Structure 1
Amino acid sequence: MHGPPGPRQNLHDDPPRLIICHRWIMANNAKWAQMNNRAVIHPAVKLRHIRAFLDIATQGSLSGVARAQGITQPALSRTLAELETLLGQPLFLRQGRRLVLTEQGALFRRHAEAALQSLEAGAAALRPGSGGTIRVGALPTVATRFFPRVVLRFRELRPQTLLAVETGPHFYLMRLLREGAIDLMIGRLPGASEMAGLSFDHLYEEDIVLVARAGHPLAGRPLPRMLAESPVILPPATALIRPQVEEYLASIGLAGLRPAIETVSLALGRGICLTSDALWFISRGVVADELDRGLLAELPIGARFLSGAVGMTRRQETATPGLPALEEVARDIARQAPGSWRPDQSSPAEA
């Protein structure tokens, strides 16, 4: 701290107005630091500061948060200014009519969300009949068969704990994980460049398959011809399995093949395949039930390298109550015999 600041222009209001900083905070910072050299956060930081900051970070607006909290916008602006003064860092910048987090604000948000979640989980644990909430992101590769079994087993063991599940593409769930909006992500191993501050717990290996509707008119023809003459569905460019599929296509002379559609959605991919001659590259776990029921057929591609690790990704500092129990259930189901939840892996593609 460099002494108490005078009135400054408020970057958080529109139109600009003056904020009177709490001079007693600044005047006592040096004294407090001398008395308590072990603590990092100023004792004047209150829960209302943290909640206001997190709500503003989510909405990007003071006016909407003020209405939701039933307070005036100037009062909310003062709360935010107090927090910035206590932390000694600017948390937001104005871009147009929105407030966006500074680098310091984004860093503080991750830790503030985790701390608030831990407090709420602790309070929930004190209420009879409440087991708290675990928020999980499930990627498509586990959402159809593996994770439903985890959910049902976990509910038998911890019926009072609520599982709040988000589904979506990899980049979306990774963002939620880093922001603290989910506690755990289950799916394929993220790229090495994405793993800073995260840990990955391997569960099993899963291959990528090429599927089509049963009775496809080109079945039995050379695969390059089938791919050249049929509409092809590829995973989106942001999907973790896309680079492997492209490497395979290049290995059979079809580098740069333009797909008709890009998706990993079971509902969309299945619907297209069942009503057309489309061929779909997708993780086996997404279409496992359709293959078992004979709605879709797997086409032999003869490539063993089209596989990858599936597991659990979490922030290293996450300490959500009940999460270790959920992870152990997932490990236990992954260790079960393949026939108990996974399709037979000895398919023509692996022969």
Structure 2
Amino acid sequence: MAAKSEAFLRGVQLRHLRCLVAVAQERHLARAAERLALSQPAVSKTLAELEALAGARLVERGSAGRRGIQGFTVAGEQLLAHALRVLEALDASAQALMPASGLRLQRLRIGALPSVAPSLLPGALARLRERLPLVQVLVQTGANALLLDALRAGELDLVAGRMSDPQLMAGLTFELLYTEPLVLVARAGHPLAGAAPSAQEVLGYPLVIYGEGTIPRHHTESFLSGLGLRLPAHGTQTLDLSVARALLLRSDAVWFTPIGAALDDLASGQLVRLAVDTAGTEEPVGLLLRSDAEPSPARQALIALLRESGADQSRVARR
């Protein structure tokens, strides 16, 4: 075992680690090659060299061909965590060598679920801008699994999202901010507004729902299943809140959504919450971080502000 470790230490190079990180971030060998300005065969060769040095398979190739990556093995996840730390340390060293008078760009890369971002992020980001006016903020929204992949690969600094399957939580931590229920929302003046409709009556109207594989979609199906109902196949599926909102305002569609996604429109009165009991659909929302990531002042400041926003959301959700 000692000889194997020594061989790895003698043979591993930065190009191997950069290759591993690029493959983790792109999940595709050809796209990783583009990121590294290499040919795809060169990336495949570098990855094979690293696997030979590690004495273990690091990635699981996709069934549709060797260019796609299904995921990382346990050994691959472990080595990826160390590779990220090495590259982050090199980046910090480069920053430290900059002239003292030079401005160092602080950057925060934030991932958030579409249903969480509009209610949780704006207030926290506005207060962060007051405290750290020069920080660069990048916000990415998407499905939970994609955000967690990006977080684990070092492409994001934190994610405002939900817990996932244990295998997707490897190397990540979760801090609960609040829980929010699934609600049924429609435009003001909708035929069901002001009444107490049954879920069966709601299904008689066009529906707007989240896409397959998302947690809100799972809760929508579970909620209806508990009432002996099934979700019709002809609903409009979207993660885009602007599309969902516009469709509701222009039609009699009903939206099954976590309440946070509709808070502003509910407060303004443009949308209304239908009086359908959805108790038991509450889902935790929290902060996800890489457990081995080095803390930064900007990230810690944002985390504190998101905790404050989460407390506000918790009070709203209990009303």
TM-score range, shorter-chain basis?
Answer: 0.7 to 0.9
Contact 1:56 1:65 in 2 (8 A): no
Aligned to 1:316: 291
CA distance in 2, matches of 1:193, 1:307: 23
Aligned partner of 1:278 in structure 2 is 253
Deviation at 1:235, TM superposition (A): 2.3
Counterpart amino acid of 1:115? Answer: V
- What is the match of residue 304 of structure 2? 328
Three-state SS of the structure 2 residue aligned to 1:302 is: coil
2:124 partner SS: helix
Distance in 2 (CA, whole Å) between partners of 1:285 and 1:203 is: 13
- Kindly tell me: are residues 256 and 183 of structure 1, through their superposed partners in 2, closer, same or farther at Cα, counting changes over 3 Å? same
Structure 2 residue 37 is matched with structure 1 residue 68: yes
Q: After TM superposition, list the pairs within 5 Å mapping 1:7-18 onto structure 2.
A: none
Bigger Cα displacement from structure 2, 179-188 vs 52-61: 52-61
Percent identity reads 35
In the alignment, the residues of structure 2 paired with residue 321 and residue 161 of structure 1 have an alpha-carbon distance, to the nearest angstrom, of: 12
Work out the CA distance in 1 between the residues paired with 2:91 and 2:61. Answer: 30
Aligned: 1:120 with 2:120 = no
Is the alpha carbon distance of 1:46 and 1:210 closer, same or farther for their aligned partners in structure 2, counting shifts above 3 Å?
same
Quick one: distance in 2 between partners of 1:257 and 1:44? 57
Q: Distance in 2 between matches of 1:41 and 1:227?
A: 62
Alignment deviations for residues 248-294 of structure 1 (CA, whole Å, 9 cap, x no partner): 22343423544512223211111211111111110111111111122
CA contact (8 A) 2:183 2:278 kept: no
186-195 or 200-209, which deviates more: 186-195
**Which is bigger in relative contact order (C-alpha 8 A, separation at least 6)?**
2
1:146 pairs, out of 116, 120, 123, with 120
Distance 1:328 1:123, change over 3 A: farther
Question: In 1, Cα distance between the equivalents of 2:263 and 2:127?
Answer: 20
Q: Given the alignment of the two structures, is residue 301 of structure 1 paired with residue 268 of structure 2, yes or no?
A: no
Q: Which amino acid aligns with 1:252?
A: L
- Structure 2: distance between partners of 1:32 and 1:205: 46
State the secondary structure of the residue aligned to 1:211: strand
What is the CA distance between 1:102 and its match in structure 2?
A: 6.9
Instruction: Indicate the SS of the match to 2:115.
Output: helix
Query: d(CA) in 2 for partners of 1:261 and 1:31?
Result: 55
Q: Distance in 1 between matches of 2:288 and 2:229?
A: 34
Q: Any idea what SS the aligned residue of 1:330 has? A: helix
Deviations 1:307-350 (A, max 9, x none): 22211012221224233332122113333587xxx75742xxxx
Verify: 1:167 aligned to 2:141, yes or no. yes
Inter-partner Cα distance in structure 1 for 2:68 and 2:121: 37
Give the letter for the 1:112 counterpart: A
Following the alignment from structure 1 to structure 2, what is the Cα–Cα distance between the partners of residues 94 and 81?
Answer: 12
Gaps of 5+ in 2: none
Shift of 1:139: 0.8
Alpha-carbon distance change, 125 to 321 in structure 1, aligned in 2, over 3 angstroms: farther
Q: Is the 8 A contact 1:246 1:255 kept in 2?
A: yes
Q: Is the 8 A contact 2:145 2:168 kept in 1?
A: no
TM-score, normalisation: structure 2: 0.79
Amino acid at match of 1:119: L
Structure 1 segment 1-351 matched on structure 2, within 5 A? 30=3, 33=6, 42-55=9-22, 58=26, 60-61=29-30, 64-65=33-34, 68=37, 83-84=50-51, 86-89=53-56, 96=65, 98=67, 100=69, 103=73, 104-105=75-76, 107-124=78-95, 127=98, 128-191=102-165, 194-219=168-193, 220=195, 222-322=197-297, 323-336=299-312, 343=316, 345-346=318-319
* Paired residues of 1:171 and 1:238 also in contact (CA < 8 A): no
Superposition RMSD in Å: 3.6
Change (3 A) 1:126 1:208: farther
Quote the residue 1:37 is aligned against: none
Amino acid at match of 1:216: H
1:184 CA displacement: 1.4
Q: Is the 8 A contact 1:207 1:283 kept in 2?
A: yes
- TM-score of the two chains, using structure 1 as the length reference: 0.72
Per-residue Cα deviation, 1:74-114 (whole angstroms, up to 9, x for no partner)? 98777666645544445578885637587344553343234
**Cα contact 2:22–2:36 (8 A) shared by 1:** no
Relative to structure 2, which stretch is displaced further, 279-288 or 224-233? 224-233
Change (3 A) 1:344 1:337: closer
Relative distance call for 1:292 and 1:42 in structure 2 (3 A) is same
Q: Is the 8 A contact 1:208 1:307 kept in 2?
A: yes
Q: For residue 113 of structure 2, what is the amino acid of its counterpart?
A: L
